[in-house]
Amino acid sequence: MLQKKTVPEMQALAKRMRREIVEMIGAAKSGHPGGSLSAVELVVTLYFDVMRHDPANPKWPDRDRFILSKGHAAPVLYTAMAEAGYTPRDQLNTLRKLGSMYQGHPDVRFLPALEASTGSLGEGVSLALGMALAARLNGSPSRTYVMLGDGEIQEGQVWEGAMFGAYHKVDNVVAIVDYNGIQLDGFVKDIMEVKPLADKWRAFGWHAIEIDGHDIPSIQAAFQEAARTKGVPTAVIAHTVKGKGVSFMENNPKFHGTAPTPDELKLALQELQ
């Protein structure tokens, strides 16, 4: 099992992962920095505090699992896996290059330690429910965490899955919505409003918790509450800032899917010292 980190250690790691994220996307000259940066604290807290997993034994049957349903934020997952020891850190900058284990979207063919191939939005909740029910049948303590984008929940399959999860009482699943308010074409409210988010999940029979998605103690508390919640699945609505940590990327729809130029990268790395 991976050694848990303290909150200050995770805060320092979050900053380092942000540097790695902008560097790898800069090197790739394409990618999605905004939604990777918004999810850093959530992913760090899962990988270095909440989840029971073992980088030396990635297929341990009773491990907790993480699915990045918003697969375009692959860099945040890759940096977490590299920092945890699943994959080499020194190859992060091969992101999106031919043959790289760090494919443009998570791909189990190239990186078997991933829990799922993702990239087509709306599918992760369903995958998580299947994995969680398999764990239940096996009498395993394994829990499955699935991260969604706020734009992603416009996909109808998410709500098919939400209905299923409540009906089948899949309480070993936690959905995390990275609620950063921006999708590719602009602000979510200008494309297809998703408010009121927590109420939607509650209406579908889930326990919903709203938190500041950059505050690690709040994230820890939310996942502890989810683990105590029996009979229904939990949705964590994490309010975040798209592009968090890099001033010119924050709340800027341009950086949903645009790589920093070499000059922008230099600036971003200075800000993330």
Partner 1 sequence: MIPANTKFDPKLGMATREAFGKALVEAGRRNKDVVVLDADLSKSTYTSLFHHEFPDRFFSCGIAEANMVAIAAGFAYAGKIPVAASFSCFVVNKGFEQLRVTVAYPNLNVKIVGTHSGISIGEDGPSQMSVEETALACSLPGFVVLSPADEVSTTALVHAAIHHVGPVFIRTGRMKAPVVYPAEQKFEIGKAVELIDGSDVTVIATGLLVAEAIRAQEALEAQGISVRVIDFHTVKPLDRETIARAAAETRAIVVAEEHLVDGGLGVRVAQVVAETHPCVMEFVGLQTYAESGSPEQLLDKYGLMSRDVIAAVHRVLARKK
**Residue 20 contacts partner 1 per CB under 8 A:** no
What minimum distance in Å lies between the beta carbon of 133 and partner 1? Answer: 7
Contacting residue, 57, 120, 224, 247, with partner 1 by CB under 8 A:
120
What gap in Å lies between CA 144 and CA 64, rounded to an integer?
A: 6
What minimum distance in Å lies between the beta carbon of 210 and partner 1? Answer: 25
Residue list 91-110, contact with partner 1 (CB under 8 A): 107-109
What minimum distance in Å lies between the beta carbon of 166 and partner 1? Answer: 12
**Residue 141 contacts partner 1 per CB under 8 A:** no
**177 φ/ψ sector (left φ>0, alpha ψ -120 to 50, else beta):** beta
DSSP string, 156-219: HHHHHHHHHHHHTT-TTEEEEEEE-SEETTEEHHHH----SHHHHHHHTT-EEEEEETT-HHHH
Residue list 54-93, contact with partner 1 (CB under 8 A): 61
Could you tell me the sign of the dihedral formed by the alpha carbons of 74, 77, 82, 83, in that order?
A: positive
Determine contact, residues 180/34, Cβ cutoff 8 Å.
yes
Structure tokens at 195: 């408010």
**Residue 230 contacts partner 1 per CB under 8 A:** no
Helix orientation angle between 262-271 and 7-28, rounded to the nearest 10 degrees: 170
Q: Which stretch binds partner 1 (CB under 8 A): 26-34, 135-143, 210-218, 243-251?
A: 135-143
**Residue 260 contacts partner 1 per CB under 8 A:** no
Q: Which stretch binds partner 1 (CB under 8 A): 127-135, 192-200, 214-222, 244-252?
A: 127-135
What gap in Å lies between CA 119 and CA 121, rounded to an integer?
A: 6
What minimum distance in Å lies between the beta carbon of 105 and partner 1? Answer: 10
What minimum distance in Å lies between the beta carbon of 118 and partner 1? Answer: 8
**Residue 221 contacts partner 1 per CB under 8 A:** no
**Residue 206 contacts partner 1 per CB under 8 A:** no
DSSP class of residue 147 equals E
What minimum distance in Å lies between the beta carbon of 109 and partner 1? Answer: 7
Other CB atoms within 10 A of residue 107 CB:
19
**Residue 203 contacts partner 1 per CB under 8 A:** no
Structure tokens at 170: 């899949």
What gap in Å lies between CA 188 and CA 101, rounded to an integer?
A: 32
**Residue 41 contacts partner 1 per CB under 8 A:** no
Contacting residue, 41, 64, 115, 152, with partner 1 by CB under 8 A:
115
**Residue 154 contacts partner 1 per CB under 8 A:** no
Q: 218, 242, 272: which is closest to 15 by C-alpha?
A: 272
Binding-site ranges for partner 1 (CB under 8 A):
61, 107-109, 115-120, 123, 126-135, 137-138, 156-157, 160-161, 163-164, 167-168
